[in-house]
Amino acid sequence: MSERKTGVYLCSGCGIGEAVNVATLEGVAKSEFRMEPKTHACLCGDEGVGMIKADIDAGVNQVIVAACSARVMTDRFAFEPHLTIRADLREKVIWSHPAGDEDTQMLAEDYLRMALSQAPKVTAPEPWVDGDYSQRICVLGGGVTGLTAAKEAAALGHDVLLIERSDRLGGHALGASKRLPHRPPYDSPEPNDVDALVAAVKAESRIVVKMSVTVTKTAGMPGKFAVTLSDGSVEDVGAIVIATGWRPYDATKLGHLGYGASPDVVTNVEFEAMLKAGRPQRKSSGQPVKSVAFVQCAGSRDPNHLPYCSNVCCATSLKQALELIQADPLTNCYVIYEEMRTPGVAEELYRAAQKAGVIFIKGKVKGVGADLTVTVADELVQADIPLQGLDMVVLATGMVPNSTNPDAAAEEYGADLLKGDVDPEAPIKVAGYCGSEPGAHERREQAIPPGGPLLNLQYRQGPHLPVLHDGFADSHYICFPYETRRTGIYTCGPVRRPMDWAEAAEDAQGAVLKAVQAVRSAAAGAALHPRVGDLSFPKINYNQCTKCRRCTVECPFGAIDENAEQYPQVNATRCRRCGTCMGACPVRTISFDNYSVEMLTTQIKSVKIPDEFSGKPRILVIACENDAVPSLDMAGIKRNSWSAHVRVLPVRCLGSVSLLCVSDALSVGYDGVMLMGCKPGDDYQCHFVKGSAMAAERLSKIGETLKSMMLEPERVVQVEASIADADRLPKVIDEFVDRIMGIGFNPFKGF
Amino acid sequence: MTHASPTPTKKYDLNFARWVYENVDGGDRMALCMQCGTCSGSCPVGQQMDYGPRKLFMMIRAGLKEEVLKSNTLWNCVSCYNCVVRCPRKVPVTYILHDLATVAVREGYAEAKESDNSRFAKAFWWSAAKYGRTDERLVTALYYFSFGMGEGYKRGMANMPIAMGMVKTKRMHLGMPHKCKNTGELKKILAKAAEIEARSHAGGAGNANPAGGTAGHDK
Ligand code: SF4
Ligand code: SF4
Ligand code: SF4
Ligand code: SF4
């Protein structure tokens, strides 16, 4: 890079000029940093931006903008390929602190110092691009989800490799008599139309279908995956969509609900096949079925079987009952339920079934006799009631995700890693937790479905796709569905949560868009969610690396392997740029072009720490830029106020916070340090899945260090922040400041 | 009348429930009852009922015909219509209860025939049908003496001071009972209603009873 020439621009608009003394700020830049700042009354306007552009034409190649939050006006202050550093004088200073106040002025000066001091430590990132990238998308699973995914990917112009383990396309839908209603008025079973979907996929020239094969090995990274199949072929693909669906829960474990007691106790999957074949008949006598009891939650929502609701079995029983009644209105249909769960428009189906005369009995099944007498502890009548004269009992069994391949043997290697990875929520108790303290949780027993790894990933972190404690492939249900903890590999359909046909098809579309983004970004060296478009990537200085492998183990996305000399090796397109490896490395040897431990500690140290006689403490809040920083910005927008003794340091993820940042802060005289980030755990909100959990784990070990420094462990805390915390966080911060003032000033001040 | 309800032979035998759906005023909508309990929770006299309407409806489905037709729920409803207004499934609870009461009387459930409320309903109806108005003295007398001569005398004497007070304050009059203007027309109207009702019950299906016209109309 040519010689660094930094331009500094202050904005006095939006009330900044009235609330703080901008001339003094200019003085800071001049006297402390020997830089010549320029001030404009509306920097984001054409004139202000024009001024910056003119300077760039004259040779400025790094821009520092001290104005509003880094989260706004990003398009105005983007001067690519040059780097823009932002100091927030608006949301986190003048909007959240009193105007014309001495402490507000000091705050603004410190934020300017933090921006100016980091300038020499960062450069505009250069992307990692290397050779050829595949644009082809591999879809695993040829059921409704996979077929839809393949069709949609082809429609977006991508070649598709569709892999199906059986010898037929269509999956479970092939065995379905009818499907759940998916269009208005949503009150009647709809025809099974999977054949049309299969035909559409077969007719698409961009889709190559391989049946009766499984994946034996997957190596590489997004844009460069090499997938080895059981037929020996090796396929190059850019991204992978997992649509392996579900398997029914093993009904032989449901003896307490009568399975096995009589041939006329069947599962909903078996009953569906009977409906498809025509009028269901008793297996025992061949007589037509005229009186049926459906037993809901057969295995589901039962801690001894499947701890979760399988989501579709209620609607499926309604559909099956309606099919029976449509064939013969005098069929007696009883649905024994604890709670009917008919999400969304399935409520219409429920109403239709009530209208059709289906009897709903709320209660628990106490026993099923060989003569099919079902005894129900009836909650509505408040008595134990025997149901007699039934022809058939249908157990509404739930869904087990195919997050493993049931046909393959469990892989020995990596099993521990998988188990260790299942629940990022270690039973961590952080010293002096502030705000709403999370309960100490036991590590939950996870239910990994039996079978071998789906993709057999050749990753250092093991061959498995991480799963949640209930066995579903990890993906954030709400905030970032489809994402797994393996970049470029997306899940959709019932492998990530129980869902029905129409939902699965919609899910497939979402995952395909993700896969398309993955192959296109990989070729450009750009990051994916949540740092979409980021060109930086972690660089490891092998001269200092001690081969401790912390980075390899802690990377939430399994991006780091080891090379022949046992050095960690980053697979750049697998990397999401969270910096967890950087925070993990004990010798600070991992850094990004524009982000490093040194860059963070320089900012920390740039803040002026007043001596204790001033009565002004300094508290460092290290805040995650995904939720905590935006939440503080919103607090500013709402004019919520918090202590002006606090300095907020934005970071990519709490995972990227090295403990050295914390100890450096305490050794230069900060009185307390607060880490503010997303919720860790199985129900995480951490955008990098494990970042905040890793931070909490590291912090749990800092107590000893603090004691050896003769400091109180309560000086360092971690708090959970969500995007909706604009009203809560200022209070949490102020409470912490009060608590620190109770402990007293840091004795290291002034050393 | 002719079309008697079937008696279930086992629990959750649906023959009685289906009969109610088809023959009781508002019964078709009862199929849609989702057991939310809003009716029972809204009922001002729910505490005085053997079972609230919600539970009663579930018992109908469960085939507990006897318990249903013997219950005082049918008689204690005061027709406030709170439940009907609030039911999220638009079940006309009040009509159903009143029509079930007539079923109970028609099918000879002793509890129904002997209950206080059915005695009162009969007395009330006698006066209303005869004069087109209710006469407090005749209605109470008929009601009291339905318990027997001794009991009727006892109850009547116990309430004498109240009656005298009412006469004194002109809330009750002495002399001939007041009538509506044209009792002949009234008789014709009632005869027509009885005819319509007989037709709908004889037909078995449907529920063409004129809304609300069913309370206590035996004889
Ligand atoms: S969908 Fe219904 S039957 Fe299935 S688990 Fe959920 S509540 Fe139980
Ligand atoms: S820890 Fe984060 S930054 Fe480091 S390699 Fe993994 S994904 Fe990339
Ligand atoms: S309010 Fe309506 S739906 Fe609810 S229990 Fe009563 S009758 Fe049933
Ligand atoms: S109408 Fe009858 S059942 Fe309904 S709330 Fe009133 S008293 Fe109760």
Q: What is the CATH number of the domain that holds A565?
A: 3.30.70.20
Q: Do A357 and B21 touch (CB under 8 A)?
A: yes
Q: Is residue B205 part of a domain?
A: no
Q: Comparing C-alpha atoms, which of A274, A269, A276 is closest to residue A249?
A: A269
Domain end point (choices B64, B95, B113)? B113
Statement to judge: residues A374 and A259 lie in one domain: yes
The C-alpha atoms of residue A243 and residue A147 are separated, in whole angstroms, by: 9
Note whether B98 and B215 are within 8 A (CB).
yes
Verify whether the Cβ–Cβ distance A381 to B64 is below 8 Å.
yes
B82 lines ligand 3 (CB under 6 A): no
Residue A299 falls inside a structural domain: yes
pLDDT of B218 reads 37
Q: Which residues pair with A178 in a beta bridge?
A: A191
Mean pLDDT per 10-residue section of chain A, whose length is 751 residues: 89 97 97 97 97 97 97 96 97 98 98 97 95 97 98 98 97 97 96 98 98 96 98 98 97 95 96 96 94 96 91 97 96 96 93 95 94 95 93 97 90 70 48 48 65 93 88 88 96 96 97 98 96 96 94 94 95 97 95 97 97 93 97 97 98 96 94 93 86 89 84 92 95 96 89 63
A579 and A692 in a single domain? The answer is: no
**Nearest ligand (C-alpha, residue A555):** 2
pLDDT for position A184 = 95
Q: Is there a single domain that holds both residue B20 and residue B107? A: yes
A312 Cα–ligand 1 center, Å: 7
Check whether residue B77 and residue B123 sit in a common domain: no
Q: Does the beta-carbon distance from B11 to A386 stay under 8 Å?
A: yes
pLDDT tens per residue across span A554-568: 999 999 999 999 999
CA distance A359 to chain B (A): 7
A417 falls within a domain? no
Q: Does a structural domain hold residue A350? A: yes
Listed residues B113, B147, B181: the one ending a domain:
B113
Instruction: Indicate which of B9, B10, B11, B90 best probes the interface with A, i.e. most A CBs within 10 Å of its own CB.
Output: B11
Question: Along the 219 residues of chain B, how does pLDDT read in single tens digits?
Answer: 447 899 998 888 899 999 999 999 999 999 999 999 999 999 999 999 999 999 999 999 999 999 999 999 999 999 999 999 999 999 999 999 999 999 998 899 978 778 888 889 889 999 999 999 999 899 999 999 999 999 999 999 999 999 999 999 988 888 888 899 999 999 999 999 999 888 876 654 444 343 333 333 333
Q: Are residues A631 and A665 in the same domain?
A: yes
Tell me whether residue A532 is in a domain.
no
The structural domain count of chain A equals 5
Based on the fold, state whether residues B71 and B93 are members of the same structural domain.
Answer: yes
Question: Does residue B209 fall inside a structural domain?
Answer: no
- Which of the listed residues B56, B78, B86 should we mutate to test ligand 4's pocket, taking the one with most ligand atoms within 8 A of CB? B78
CATH number for B50: 1.10.1060.10
Structure tokens, A311? 């989501």
CA distance A714 to chain B (A): 51
Given A100, A124, A148, which residue is the final one in a domain? Answer: A124
Nearest residue, CB atoms, B55 vs list A354, A360, A381: A381
**Pair A221, A347 in one domain:** no
The Cα A515–Cα A239 span in angstroms is 6
Q: How many residues are recorded in chain A?
A: 751
ipTM: 0.77
Answer whether residue A734 is part of any domain: yes
Based on the domain organization, do A282 and A237 belong to the same domain? Answer: no
- Which residues of A touch chain B, with CB atoms under 8 Å apart? 332, 334, 351, 354-355, 357, 359-362, 378, 380-382, 385-389
For ligand 3, atom 8: residue with the closest CA:
B33
Domain co-membership, A206 together with A305: no
Cβ of A387 within 8 Å of Cβ of B55? The answer is: no
Domain final position from A477, A493, A524: A524
Give yes or no for residue B89 CB within 6 A of ligand 3: yes
Any idea which ligand is nearest the CA of B94? 4
Chain A residues whose beta carbon lies within 8 Å of the beta carbon of residue B61: 359
Q: Which residue has the tokens 């890693």?
A: A417
Residues A734 and A741: their CA atoms lie apart, in Å, by 11
Determine the structural domain holding residue A625 and report its residue range: 596-751
Bridge partners, residue A139, by sequence: A162, A241
Q: Are residues A28 and A46 in the same domain?
A: yes
A-chain CB neighbours of B71 within 8 Å are none
In this structure, is residue A129 part of a structural domain?
no
A288 pairs with which residues across the strands?
A: A281
Select from A362, A382, A385 the Cβ nearest to the Cβ of B11. A385
Q: Do B12 and A362 touch (CB under 8 A)?
A: no
Whether B121 and B184 share a structural domain: yes
Bridge partner list, A88: A67
Give pLDDT, residue B211.
38
CA distance B59 to chain A (A): 6
**Amino acid identity, position B143:** Y
Distance of CA B111 to the CA centre of its chain: 13
Contacting B residues, span 46-105, partner chain A, CB-CB under 8 Å = 54-55, 58-59, 61-62, 64
Clarify whether residues A601 and A733 are in a common domain: yes
What angle do the packed helices B136-145 and B116-131 form, to 10 degrees?
A: 140
* Residue-range definition of the domain harbouring residue B62: 14-113
Long-range CB contacts (< 8 A, 24+ apart) of A607-616? A607/A110, A607/A113, A607/A114, A607/A647, A607/A670, A608/A106, A608/A109, A608/A110, A608/A113, A609/A668, A609/A669, A609/A670, A609/A749, A610/A106, A611/A749, A611/A750, A612/A745, A612/A749, A612/A750, A616/A103, A616/A106, A616/A645
Q: Is residue B7 included in any domain, yes or no? A: no
Domain count, chain B: 2
Tell me the C-alpha distance between A681 and A403, whole Å.
20
Q: Are residues B101 and B85 in the same domain?
A: yes
Rounded to whole angstroms, how far apart are CA atoms A164 and A213? 6
Q: Check whether residue B46 and residue B93 sit in a common domain.
A: yes
Residues A86 and A105 in one domain: yes
Shared domain check, A696 and A587? no
Residue B149 lies in a domain: yes
CB atoms within 10 A of CB A707: 11
According to the model, what pLDDT value does residue A683 have? 77
Cα–Cα distance, A458 to B169 (Å, whole number): 100
Largest CA distance in chain A: 97
A and B: number of Cβ contacts within 8 A:
46
Q: Does B10 touch chain A (CB under 8 A)?
A: yes
Asked, for residue A410, whether it belongs to a domain, the answer is: no
Q: Are B130 and B61 in contact (CB under 8 A)?
A: no
Give me the pLDDT at residue A428, please: 43
Q: Do A359 and B59 touch (CB under 8 A)?
A: no
C-alpha B77 to ligand 4 mean position (Å): 5
CATH number at residue A676: 3.40.50
Asked whether the beta carbons of residue A381 and residue B14 sit closer than 8 angstroms, the reply is: no
Whether residues B65 and B129 fall in one domain: no
- Site from A325, A328, A358, A381 to mutate, B interface, most B CB atoms within 10 angstroms: A381
In a domain, B4, yes or no: no
Kindly state whether residue A685 falls inside one of the protein's structural domains. yes
- B61 contacts A387 by C-beta, under 8 angstroms: no
Among A351, A357, A380, whose Cβ lies nearest the Cβ of B58? Answer: A380
Q: Are both A180 and A228 inside the same structural domain? A: yes
Residues with CB under 6 A from ligand 2: A 538, 555, 557, 559-560, 570, 575-581
Judge if B45 and B107 occupy the same domain.
yes
CB-CB under 8 Å, A334 with B12: yes
Q: Are residues A503 and A446 part of one domain?
A: yes
Q: Are residues B73 and B148 in the same domain?
A: no
Substitution site in A313, A349, A395 for ligand 1 pocket (most atoms within 8 Å of beta carbon): A313
Pairing of strands A160-164, A137-140: parallel
In a shared domain, residues B88 and B126: no
d(CA A15, CA A93): 11
CATH code where residue A312 lies: 3.50.50.60
In angstroms, rounded to a whole number, what is the distance separating the alpha carbons of residues B31 and B18? 9
Beta strands A190-191 and A207-211 are unpaired
Q: Which residues of A touch B64 (CB under 8 A)?
A: 381
Could you tell me if B108 and B176 lie in one domain? Answer: no
Using the Cα atoms of residue B127, residue B132, residue B137 and residue B140 in order, give the sign of their dihedral.
positive
Q: Which of A97, A124, A151 is the last residue of a domain?
A: A124
What's the token pair of residue A645? 């003794």
On whether any CB of chain A is under 8 Å from the CB of B16, the answer is: no
Q: What are phi and psi of A281, to 5 degrees?
A: -125, 155
Cβ B12–A355 below 8 Å, yes or no?
A: no
Q: What is the pLDDT of residue A443?
A: 53
What does the pLDDT read at residue A600?
98
Q: Residue B214, Cβ neighbours under 10 Å: how many? A: 19
